[in-house]
Amino acid sequence: MPSTGSASPEVPVGLPLWLLAELTYRCPLQCPYCSNPLDFANQGQELSTAQWFQVMAEAREMGAAQIGFSGGEPLVRQDLNELIGEARRLGYYTNLITSGIGLTEQKIAAFKQAGLDHIQISFQASDEQVNNLLAGSKKAFAHKLEMARAVKAHGYPMVLNFVTHRHNIDRTDRIIELCLALEADFVELATCQFYGWAQLNRAGLLPTREQLQRAERITNDYRERLKAEGNPCKLIFVTPDYYEERPKACMNGWGSIFLTVTPDGTALPCHGARQLPIAFPNVREHSLQHIWYDSFGFNRFRGFGWMPEPCRSCDEKEKDFGGCRCQAFMLTGDASNADPVCSKSDRHGVILAARAEAEYAAQSITDLAFRNERNSHLIVKS
Amino acid sequence: MSFDRNRVPSWRPGYRFQYEPAQQGHVLLYPEGMIKLNDSAGMIGGLIDGQRSVAAIIEQLQQQFPDVPEVGVDIEQFMEVARAEHWISLS
């Protein structure tokens, strides 16, 4: 296995098994918890079809087996059908990660023809009004339902993704019922993770501990019911790490299995890493082989040598890698610090304060900063 | 309860079994996930085509590995696990 230039020769570099192709930051929706960077409106030119072909071929050669077409909204790329076809020809398992807005039954059929393996549709809530408010679109919900039915009718496996937060998490039972009625194969109940626009809106999104525990209990009840019925639908409950005492093993370790390529060709070890004060390499200038194995950015937090205390001497560092580098940067100003989610971090107080704030936060949905070009320009200027 | 070897396994729709050169082994790919199969699971998986019965798969692998006595039991176990995980259906 090539491992030249690894910052930690004692830890072999893994294969980039997962390629996340963020095709565009363009999106018709305005979700206030979007993980795209706040300054998405100022990003550079999108990669061409030929450049994506090259990226896909190189990553596949290096071992990537899963490709996710994401964004923004990938459906706005006019060449999406071609990209799917090429990815499948190369042997990828092809995933389309979409809001469903812009999807039509004709496209669903054409993508199948091109070799698309799976479609994930994201919902904003089980309830039409909340969904539409959050998505910033009046007819989003009805269209998503129609598209979810069409996805199943065309024989795809389907993942339904619900980003949950304090305004919709109390409807977990209705969310699950809706997913079962739509015959989802997997349901992701993903409590908001606080990056990008979600971090900006955290006080208005973070659920209380009580809300979270109730939602988890309901999910577990449904899991038992589904198992007893032999229903293959799998419920995936993602807790917000703000209620944990140990951080998540973010990305399964930095530069370990996951490779994101952003619309302008910047390569990242995770889709949130762009905000870090690290000059990440671009696929227009370097091969993926160089980027994955030799670039400074991908080696920056590999292994354990970069860790300060309390991570350095911690006996759990091989389990959680000190948590999330982006969260450490956002909440402490230094990306090599322990993720403050960890109770061993001397900055754990910021997490405790956020939990306390969640108990009395009074922001309504309309108070949130919606992810749109105007806000992106405003935020970046200020 | 004995296992009915006349049943025919098929991969769950949308799940794909394939060889990955970089991992030097077979994998099962599904929405946003991948199971790395060990060598024997990879050999069994390669014979699942929606046509062959479990008995036919056992026969074929017994011919290939006449010195391994437990082939039939191993294959039954694989089928039980794969069905419990909803990777395959048995018709």
- Please indicate if any CB of chain B lies within 8 Å of the CB of A226: no
Asked if pLDDT for residue A45 goes beyond 50, the answer is yes
Contact between chains at A66 and B34 (C-beta distance less than 8 A): yes
Backbone angles phi, psi at A344, to 5 degrees: -80, -10
**Whole-number pLDDT of residue B32:** 87
Taking only the tens place, the pLDDT of each residue in A178-199 is 999 999 999 999 888 887 777 7
Interatomic CA distance for residues A322 and A339, integer angstroms: 6
- Please indicate if any CB of chain B lies within 8 Å of the CB of A144: no
**Which candidate, A158, A165, A222, places its Cα nearest to that of A192?**
A165
Chain B closest-CA separation from residue A117 CA (Å): 6
Calculate mean pLDDT across residues A342-367: 86
Give the DSSP H/E element, type plus range, for residue B11. Answer: strand B9-11
Instruction: Find the range with the poorest average confidence among A261-265, A366-370, B47-51, B86-90.
Output: A366-370
Taking only the tens place, the pLDDT of each residue in A65-86 is 999 999 889 999 999 999 999 9
pTM score, two decimals?
Answer: 0.91
Contact between chains at B27 and A65 (C-beta distance less than 8 A): yes
Q: At a CB cut-off of 8 Å and minimum separation 6, what does A370 contact?
A: A30, A31, A32, A136
> Which tops the pLDDT comparison, A352 or A2?
A352
> Which tops the pLDDT comparison, A131 or A163?
A163
- Please indicate if any CB of chain B lies within 8 Å of the CB of A372: no
Asked if pLDDT for residue A255 goes beyond 90, the answer is yes
**Which candidate, B51, B89, B20, B44, places its Cα nearest to that of A65?**
B20
Burial track A130-156 (b if 16+ CB lie within 10 A, e otherwise): bbbbbbbbeebbebbbebbebbbeeeb
Taking only the tens place, the pLDDT of each residue in B71-83 is 899 999 999 999 9
- Please indicate if any CB of chain B lies within 8 Å of the CB of A115: no
**Whole-number pLDDT of residue A120:** 96
Chain B closest-CA separation from residue A53 CA (Å): 19
Decide if A313 contacts A24 (C-beta within 8 A): no
> Which tops the pLDDT comparison, B62 or A37?
B62
**Whole-number pLDDT of residue A5:** 44
**Whole-number pLDDT of residue B28:** 97
Check whether the bond before A263 is cis (ω within 30° of 0): no
ipTM reported for the complex, 2 dp: 0.93
**Whole-number pLDDT of residue A77:** 95
Within 13 A of A103's CA, how many CA atoms are on the CB side?
28
- Look up residue A282 and give its two tokens: 């671009």
Interatomic CA distance for residues A52 and A21, integer angstroms: 8
Chain B closest-CA separation from residue A300 CA (Å): 24
User: Among A63, A95, A155, whose Cβ lies nearest the Cβ of B23?
Assistant: A63
> Which tops the pLDDT comparison, A20 or A9?
A20
For A344, counting Cβ atoms within 10 Å of its Cβ (0-12 exposed, 13-18 middle, 19+ buried), the class is middle
Task: Give contacts of A185 with chain B, Cβ < 8 Å.
Answer: 14, 31
Please name the residue of chain A whose CA is at the shortest distance from the CA of residue B35.
A65
In three-state form (DSSP H/G/I as H, E/B as E, the rest C), the secondary structure along chain A is CCCCCCCCCCCCCCCCCEEEEECCCCCCCCCCCCCCCCCHHHCCCCCCHHHHHHHHHHHHHCCCCEEEEECCCHHHCCCHHHHHHHHHHHCCEEEEEECCCCCCHHHHHHHHHHCCCEEEEEECCCCHHHHHHHHCCCCHHHHHHHHHHHHHHCCCCEEEEEEECCCCHHHHHHHHHHHHHCCCCEEEEEECCCCHHHHHCHHHHCCCHHHHHHHHHHHHHHHHHHHHHCCCCEEEEECCHHHCCCCCCHHHCCCCCEEEECCCCEEECCCCHHHCCCCCCECCCCCHHHHHHCCHHHHCCCCCCCCCCCCCCCCCHHHHCCCCHHHHHHHHCCCCCCCCCCCCCCCCHHHHHHHHHHHHCCCCHHHCCCCCHHHHHHHHHC
Interatomic CA distance for residues A351 and A242, integer angstroms: 6
**Which candidate, B69, B9, B61, places its Cα nearest to that of B39?**
B61
**Which candidate, A147, A67, A56, A69, places its Cα nearest to that of A109?**
A147
Backbone angles phi, psi at B14, to 5 degrees: 90, -5
User: With bands split at pLDDT 50, 70 and 90, how would you rate the model's confidence at A135?
Assistant: low
Contact between chains at A93 and B12 (C-beta distance less than 8 A): no
Decide if A263 contacts A47 (C-beta within 8 A): yes
Encoded amino acid at A158, one letter: M
Contact between chains at A93 and B20 (C-beta distance less than 8 A): no
Encoded amino acid at A89, one letter: R
Interface of B to A at Cβ within 8 Å reads 12-16, 18, 20, 22-23, 27, 29-34, 86
Interatomic CA distance for residues A73 and B15, integer angstroms: 25
Asked if pLDDT for residue A263 goes beyond 70, the answer is yes
